[in-house]
Amino acid sequence: MAVDLLVIHNISLPPGHYGGGHIEALFDNRLDAAAHPYFRDIASLKVSAHLLIDREGNVTQFVPFDRKAWHAGQSSFQGREACNDFSIGVELEGCDDEAFTDRQYERLIEVTRLLMEAYPGITLDRIVGHSDIAPGRKTDPGPCFDWKRLREGCR
């Protein structure tokens, strides 16, 4: 299926804490359930994103863009179910109630522009948050995410 949607997420592990390699361990299916009480419930999850942009703006790719990543879960966009089938997922290290860093926005804009060139179906109106495709279930990237900054940077 053609890729024509970009989904922006946020993640921090444990919630509200940055660094430590826990996100990478989760996406690589090697998160130690004993390392933190929060991890007990999520260590067995089989989830992934195409990219992670950490607080310093470093980009890590987990899944090739031409392969499905398991980032959206139960989801729908404009009447199409199972957004994992036609989307690219980008995780920003962060949480709903804290601003993202300038370096994260710089990298996200850079990555988004490249993805829009490589996948013409991804247009500004087809860049959404996890909350847009899973309303009531997901809240990310959250109210602190600056949609205007991203869209203006990608024009």
SS3 per-residue string spanning 63-97: CCCCCCCCCCCCCEECCEECHHHHEEEEEEECCCC
Strand partners, 10: 92
- Helices of type H across the chain: 22-27, 102-118, 130-133, 147-153
Q: Which of 24, 81, 91, 117 is catalytic?
A: 91
Residue type, 82: A
* Residue 91 appears among annotated catalytic residues: yes
Q: Give residue for tokens 């980009």.
A: 59
Strand partners, 71: none
- Annotated catalytic residues are 91
